[in-house]
Chains A and B, each alone.
Chain A
Amino acid sequence: MISDITIGQYYSGNSVLHRMDARMKLILTFASIVAIFLCKNFFSLGLMVIFTVAATLLSCVPAKMVIKSLKPIIVILIFTAVLNIFYTTGGDTYFKWKFIEITEEGVNTAIFMAIRIVSLVVLSSLLTYTTTPTLLTDALERILSPLKVFKIKVHTLAMMMTLALRFIPTLIEEINRIMNAQKARGADLETGGIVARAKALIPIFIPLMISSFRRAYELAFAMTCRGYTGGEGRTRMKQMKLRVSDFIACAVVCALVGGIIALNIYFEAVI
């Protein structure tokens, strides 16, 4: 059902990763995702995997949750692996039958791509598991704040994102409620062809739009009444502060990138 979707999937806890400064976490996650694509051989890739596993263990998020975040990409994973095995050729041939040919390079590329995609998803979900959506957008706002010189309204963008995230559960609830009401009037949402189904969505979509607009107006009024005037001169209740542990984390990621580059130079590239 719709309510199974988890967005802003924060897993509350008090691990090292949870306590880390959100800005640093965001930047380091980005850096380590870039590092994934720097790996050129199995040694550097191995280092990357060790880093990913270590980060997962440090976050104290149960392995079950992390694996759950991989569920939606299983199809993509299998698809890319299969494509790579069959379409990349080079090196020794392991298997050949008519036009199907499996080669060393094909297998290597498939393994590489699979591990890269998995680490990418795991690292980015670790970020959302250990950081609340509010903190995340807050961090994003601060990181992007230099863009203000280009007249980009960073604060407004961040506020829009915060509000959008905040209202996702509300909207899901609303959709459920409207769906139930229309089902009670005999609306059939499950059967029929594509056209029939698209048509069946109208009785859900229109009330949803109307109530969303109403909500948006109400929210805007409420914010105005509480003195919201945009980002200008707005102070924060929670100050973000970098601590020693954040610099240690930064050093670790720098070491990771350095290690990967060293291993790339030292060992032969396979991809």
Chain B
Amino acid sequence: MTSAIEITGLSHYYNKGTPNEVAAIKNANLRIEKGELVAIIGHTGSGKSTLISHFNGLLKPDEGKVFVDGKDIWQSKESLRESRFKVGLCFQYPEYQLFEDTVFKDIAFGPKNMKLDDEEVKRRVLRAAQLAGVKPEHLDKSPFDLSGGEKRRAAIAGVMSMQPQVLVFDEPAAGLDPHARKQLIDMIKSYREQTGCTVIFVSHSMEDVAYLADRIIVINQAEIAMQGSVSEVFSRGDELTSMGLNVPEITRIFLMLREKGYDVPKDVYTVGQAVPHIKRLMEGGRAI
């Protein structure tokens, strides 16, 4: 089976050939399988947004190749256009891209560009609205009358309505309050469960990463520094710290508990995993 996205030897430079040339991503190799939920983490300016803009050909690699579903996207104009629809990219603060006079029309923008018939467009809009958690009564409203979180959902629905095989989010929960954040993260989770699509997301919240991801890609100073399962990556906490990142808070608490002599595992990454251990300790299990 072909990978959803495969990248070989990818490098990208901004302001190439001028004194302020910066290598935003250097010699990146990665492979994302179909149906995976992958998190990309890295400190600010490490090149995450640059990397994901290559997934649907918004940026052209200076070196290296990008394959979507086994096809080199830069092979021809058609393959490039195809990649735009196969890989849906949802940028940071997507609400700033809303422009139509109703939410419905805005969500329909993508499918319309795919030249689908009205019936299919409508079907996709309704499905995307349901997946993204846009309330049905909001569909006929102006997107500018919604709250920040509702706008975000409408914008995300606008990408989902293209029914891409791969959906990429750049910091989907940035600037939301804790409650809206939780809802959004759960929305991504249920989207993956309901559609089985590949999902890639960039995040600065290690809690969200631990909660959602199957696999983590760590970017440091324009290079891919680590790749692996959640436990593989978070077990290398010291290296993460040196890259300006961290492990989830609950993991840190458990490491502290271990230092104090409590018998708890060190590979606990979410609150859900932590609950039984805490319960056990509260029932009086001071160890060793």
Contact = CB atoms under 8 A, between A and B. Distances in A.
A184 B89 contact: yes
Given A186-B162, A187-B113, A211 B53 contact: no
Given A185-B158, A186-B84, A203 B144 contact: no
A188 interface: yes
A184 B113 contact: no
Looking at chain B, what size class is its interface with the partner chain?
20 to 34
A204 to B, nearest CB: 8
Interface in B89-106: 89-91, 94, 96-99
A185 B58 contact: no
B42 interface: no
Nearest to B53: A180
B159 interface: yes
Contact of B91 (A180, A203, A206, A211): A180
Nearest to B115: A186
B56 interface: yes
Nearest to A178: B97
Contacts of A202: 99
Interface string B183-202: 00000000000000000000
B162 A207 contact: no
Interface in A178-210: 178, 180-188, 202-203, 206-207, 210
Contacts of A19: none
A184 B98 contact: no
A178 B7 CA distance: 25
A184 B159 CA distance: 8
B110 interface: yes
Nearest to B97: A181
Q: Is the interface of A mostly helix, strand, loop or mixed?
A: helix
Contact of B144 (A183, A186, A210): A210
A180 B49 CA distance: 12
Interface in B156-212: 158-159, 162
A-side interface size class: 10 to 19
A185 B113 contact: yes
B109 interface: yes
A164 B175 CA distance: 28
A207 B98 contact: yes
A179 to B, nearest CB: 9
B49 to A, nearest CB: 10
B58 A180 contact: yes
A202 B144 CA distance: 16
Interface string B67-86: 00000000000000100110
A185 B110 contact: yes
A185 B159 contact: yes
Contacts, number: 53
B96 A184 contact: no
Contacts of A206: 99
A186 B113 contact: yes
Q: Could you say which of A178, A184, A203, A207 has the most chain B C-beta atoms within 10 Å of its C-beta?
A: A184
A183 B58 contact: yes
Contacts of B97: 178, 181-182, 185, 203, 207
Nearest to A180: B58
B99 A184 contact: no
A177 interface: yes
B109 A184 contact: no
B146 interface: no
Nearest to B164: A184
Contacts of A182: 97, 109
Given A180-B53, A180-B58, A180-B91, A185 B99 contact: no
Contact of A177 (B85, B91, B158): B91
A128 B113 CA distance: 43
Contacts of A203: 97, 99, 109
Nearest to A182: B97
Contacts of B158: 185
A3 to B, nearest CB: 9
Given A180-B58, A206-B99, A211-B96, A185 B162 contact: yes
B53 A183 contact: no
A6 to B, nearest CB: 11
Most chain B beta-carbon neighbours within 10 Å: one of A181, A185, A211: A185
9 contacts: A177-B96, A181-B89, A182-B109, A183-B84, A185-B110, A185-B158, A186-B114, A203-B99, A210-B144
Interface of A: 177-178, 180-188, 202-203, 206-207, 210-211
- 9 cross-chain pairs, A with B, having the tightest CB-CB distances, nearest first: A186-B113, A206-B99, A181-B97, A184-B89, A185-B110, A203-B99, A181-B91, A180-B58, A207-B99
